[in-house]
Amino acid sequence: MGLLIKGGEIVTAESRSRGDIFIENETISSIGRDFYAPPGTEVIDAAGQLVFPGFIDPHVHIHLPFMATFAKDTHATASKAALIGGTTTFIEMCCPSRTEDALEGYHTWKQKAQGNSACDYAFHMAVTRYDTNTEAQLREIVRDGTASFKIFLAYKNFFGVTDEEMFSTLKLAAELGVITTAHCENAELVGQLQQILLAEGKTGPEWHEPSRPEAVEAEGTGRFATFLGQTGAAGYVVHLSCAPALRAAVEAKLRGVRLYVESVLPHFLLDKTYAERPNVEGMKHVMSPPLRDKRNLPILWNALQAGLIDTVGTDHCPFDTEQKLLGSEAFTQIPNGIPGIEDRVNLMYTYGVRRGALDIHRFVDALSTRSAKLFGLFPRKGTIAIGADADIVVYDPDYRGTISAATQHSNNNYNGFEGFRIEGRPSHVTVRGRVQVRDGVFVGEPGRGRMIKREPHYGAQGAKNAG
């Protein structure tokens, strides 16, 4: 049976026009006007609504062991929340710690997702140590269809890599043609600053940001860029939060370093005063890099509109209030992270497109198309075109609502954006032609999601003095 999405305003990263979309066998088979619906065709009346390609979240954590606890979502809960929020594909960080075997960790993450996700998914493979087994394991993982790595320049002795390990990882990435994503801080500096603050009796969540100041993130961004320049690898900065780090990334781009930039939802809408609230209210908003001084917010919005920031993810990482309270005696023990997979599209549309801070085509590009291109999903994902997967979001711009933990679908007992108004939401969402959300309610197949295997597409580029 076919599916016809009729009479909506189709918006991609490049174009905007009113029309119909006919879907057969999981893909878009035709796009035009005034289509006739053959008998048995399911019809979605999209008149008065926007029709977007399915949105892609390039940075989520679902299964995540961290600070002696585990993130609260499962692939079942997170994928339903994603779909209700308009995200039809996410890329999950596969993050075994330094003490775990990388290949075993990779298979664990795959097994957690398989058959449990309602939307499609892929992985970034974290490299948390580089020893005699690592190269062979990473080659096997890339052959399996995971064509991006992740390194942490933070969380010393847990996820963090040394400079030597970063160099080895990037050399291999350049050879294999994969892109490496990086959490850019300086683990040694953070550790020293944390100890100084704790010794002074500064233990509350308000001291998390001073322990990882903007200069530390800028240094990590510049160092990552230097290593990219010397190895010829392609890199992607995750969750960039502030103007100094942005400046370091842009300067590297101008030198010819193959570097792309992601910022995440919280850093566009929240500032460090949220983490300075007393007790657990502040703990809820502890993440790394931290929420910053509000002077950074307009800078990030402007950079996003200009394309200096390529993508918007979430770094979705749900720890509930009981878990956050593990850090009641010391901010260093607060599990880092905030949920957001359900709210990214609606908040960026409301406070970006509706407020005039973000062109609607840049919105689609930053939240869907560019991630698809950077991570080897395009043109299967990230656009509305004949032959593409029929991942479609029919979006009601007239909807009005308020974000609340009481109505969210992520498995968490708070929402970091509690009380934010939204102007618009997905009414219908499809995954490969199957309606998974109707009238804002999940109605679909819980295990429909598939792992999307990707091919390396960053050809080797000779090492140079760009760094």
| 453-459: average pLDDT | 96
pLDDT tens per residue, range 77-120: 999 999 999 999 999 999 999 999 999 999 999 999 999 999 99
Cα separation values, 209 from 186, 348, 427, Å: 14, 24, 38
Taking the C-alpha atoms of residue 67 and residue 60, their distance in angstroms, rounded to an integer, is: 17
Residue 417: inside a domain: no
Residue 99 in domain: yes
Q: Is the pLDDT of residue 137 over 60?
A: yes
pLDDT range class, residue 67, cuts 50, 70, 90? confident
3-state SS assignment for residue 455 = coil
Is residue 53 reached through a cis peptide bond, with omega within 30 degrees of 0 on the bond before it? no
* pLDDT given at position 29: 97
pLDDT of the residue at 31: 98
Domain annotation covers residue 172: yes
Long-range contact pairs involving 137-141 (C-beta distance under 8 Å, separation at least 24): 137/101, 137/102, 137/103, 137/106, 138/102, 138/172, 138/176, 139/176, 140/103, 141/102, 141/103, 141/106
Percent of the chain whose predicted confidence (pLDDT) is above 90: 96
Q: Is residue 419 part of a domain?
A: no
pLDDT given for residue 431 in this prediction: 98
Q: How far apart are CA 289 and CA 186, in angstroms?
A: 11
Structure confidence at residue 462 as a pLDDT band (50, 70, 90): low
Please compute the mean of the pLDDT values over residues 205-233 and round it to a whole number: 98
Domain of residue 307, CATH code: 3.20.20.140
Q: pLDDT digit string (tens) for 223-279?
A: 999 999 999 999 999 999 999 999 999 999 999 999 999 999 999 999 999 999 999
Q: CA-based angle 313:316:320, to the nearest 5?
A: 160
Helices 163-176, 134-143: crossing angle, 10 deg rounding:
40
Mean pLDDT (whole number) for 159-169: 97
pTM above 0.85, yes or no: yes
Q: How far is CA 354 from the centre of its chain?
A: 22
Q: Is the dihedral of CA 320, 423, 365, 378 positive or negative?
A: positive
Give the model's confidence band at 66: pLDDT under 50 very low, under 70 low, under 90 confident, else very high. confident
> Residue range 52-60: average pLDDT?
99
pLDDT computed for residue 459 by the predictor: 85
Average confidence (pLDDT) over 136-163: 97
pLDDT tens digits, 314-373? 999 999 999 999 999 999 999 999 999 999 999 999 999 999 999 999 999 999 999 999
Q: Could you give the residue ranges of the DSSP H alpha helices within 238-335? A: 243-254, 266-269, 279-283, 296-306, 321-324
**Is 283 part of a structural domain of the chain?**
yes
Alpha-carbon gap, residue 214 to 206, rounded angstroms: 15
Report the pLDDT value the prediction gives residue 467, as an integer from 0 to 100: 40
Q: How many domains does the chain have?
A: 1
pLDDT at 6: 97
Of residues 433, 349, 361, the one with CA closest to residue 395: 349
pLDDT category at 300 given cuts 50, 70, 90 is very high
The pair of three-digit structure tokens given for residue 196, joined into one six-digit string: 């100084």
Please state, in angstroms and rounded to a whole number, the distance separating the CA atoms of residues 455 and 67.
33
Q: What average pLDDT does the segment 408-435 reach?
A: 98
- 102-113 vs 134-143: helix axis angle to the nearest 10? 30
Residue 38, pLDDT above cutoff 60: yes
- 423 phi and psi, to 5 degrees? -125, 85
Judged by average pLDDT, the poorest of 33-42, 291-300, 380-389, 405-414 is 33-42
The DSSP result for 184-251, as a single string, is: -S-HHHHHHHHHHHHHTT--SGGGHHHHS-HHHHHHHHHHHHHHHHHHT-EEEE-S--SHHHHHHHHH
Residue 405 maps to a domain: no
Does residue 20 fall inside a structural domain? no
Q: Domain of 86?
A: 54-374
* Rounded CA separation 288/290 (Å): 5
Provide the residue type at 410 as one letter: S
Q: Is residue 441 part of a domain?
A: no
CA distance 165 to 167: 5
